[in-house]
Amino acid sequence: MKVQKEQSMLRQKQMLADHFEALSRAKESGRKVVYTFVPGNLTELIYTFDMLPVYPEINALQSGMRQRSRDLIRGAEETGYPEDVCSYVKCDIGMMLQGNVGPTGQVLPPPDLLLLSYTGCFVFMKWFENLKQLYPDAEIAMLHIPYQGDGSIEPGAVQYIVDQLEREVIPKCERVSGKKFDYGELAARLDLSGQAEELLSEVFDSARHTPSPIDAYFGGVYYVGPIFTAFRGSEQCVGYYRELLDEVNARVAAGQGPVTPEGPMVQENFRLVIEGPPNWTHFRDFWKLFYQQGAVVVGSSYTGVGGVYSDGFRHSGAQPLRSLAEYCLGCYTNRSLPQRIDLLADYITRYRADGLLVNSIKSCNSFSAGQLVMMRELEDRLEIPVGFIETDLVDPRYYSYSNIKNRLDSFFQMLEQRQSLGAGREVVA
């Protein structure tokens, strides 16, 4: 089967290929390399110092999609990492132990700086502690982001982060890159980020239409690609999102649904909101279980992991360091359970979802805890059908096709019965 792709997808593929190419030439071009995480990333700041970012989770998920993660995980387990450790970590460590050959087949350069933005997940810290052992020559900088445990940003939290940026992160970036910090350049980059985020928000908000012109989960992981990875704060990123929004608007005008790997979705039967990341090792099979039933995802929490924009946050060059701090604080991973519930409730009502599905990640002990509580709370509050499945990010041992299919079939039957009983939804064109 020839996989159907939107023009923006092809453009993104090329952007990523160019980035990996630049990484493979980092030594000869003299550019320093920063390993950092997607949630709370400081991409604009990294580029202000003309350094190149590497995101371990992106390498892991790309390895998963290319069927390489099984061997990499096994390699890490053979050196003593237990089975229930986060599979992103093992995939990443396994990749480094086997020569640090990235998902595109090119060797990735070692880090000059390990920049740990600590947002919500304790594993991030242990992950980089392990990387520091593998790369003892790399500098390490930690940016501590206070968790929104009480459901709001504590007074002083923004200033606390700004102080760390000024005293710890920026001086280390200057030292590693040999370049003086340029406040004006950072501000200009943040303004570009704000423009791209505005366009991305319009893309996600198009799910208010029926049929929805987008799939906010399976398509959504492509939509967030440039903003979650190496391109935030660039003209290229803004250009990508303009093109994407044009594509989406054209589908709205034509009354079309999202593009799936087998072409445009013809019939929208169910609208879902999903909590939890997708499975990467069987991504297309997993997606097919939905689109072959006419199920389209109109909202997902996963696409907020690298930044939540649906509540109006935009990076801005007006107060650059405060803007970075507010961004880090607001990432989905840094929000409390009640905040995550409210966000999902907002998506369910705003996009008139028929049901909520939780995809719990077997080896993500950080975010799977609490998902059943969230699901029950939303079921009671909104009287909406809910479903629960379990897969993994990049460990194929935890993907059971028949198990997931059975559960999804029951879930879709439940939605169908409810629709036949008259709990249908109004149509907004």
Residues that bind ligand SF4 (CB under 6 A): 86, 88, 121, 123-124, 333, 364-367, 393
Min CB(282)–ligand SF4 separation in Å: 17
Min CB(278)–ligand SF4 separation in Å: 12
Q: Looking at beta carbons only, is 251 or 362 nearer to ligand SF4? A: 362
CB atoms within 10 A of CB 421: 8
CA nearest to 89, candidates 310, 374, 340, 363? 363
Q: Looking at beta carbons only, is 124 or 135 nearer to ligand SF4? A: 124
Q: Looking at beta carbons only, is 86 or 295 nearer to ligand SF4? A: 86
Min CB(13)–ligand SF4 separation in Å: 24
CB 212 within 8 A of CB 271: yes
Q: Looking at beta carbons only, is 327 or 332 nearer to ligand SF4? A: 332
CB atoms within 10 A of CB 109: 19
Min CB(306)–ligand SF4 separation in Å: 11
Min CB(283)–ligand SF4 separation in Å: 16
Q: Looking at beta carbons only, is 332 or 411 nearer to ligand SF4? A: 332
> Strand order in 295-300's β-sheet?
295-300, 270-275, 355-361, 386-391
Min CB(426)–ligand SF4 separation in Å: 37
Q: Looking at beta carbons only, is 162 or 393 nearer to ligand SF4? A: 393
CA separation for the pair 403, 414 (Å, rounded): 17
CB 331 within 8 A of CB 356: no
- Enter the tokens of residue 271: 């609208």
CB 348 within 8 A of CB 61: no
Min CB(332)–ligand SF4 separation in Å: 10
Q: Looking at beta carbons only, is 76 or 121 nearer to ligand SF4? A: 121
The conformational region for residue 143 under phi > 0 = left, psi -120 to 50 = alpha, else beta, is beta
Q: Is the peptide bond before 213 cis (omega within 30 degrees of 0)?
A: no
User: Is the Cα torsion angle 325, 328, 334, 340 positive or negative in sign?
Assistant: positive
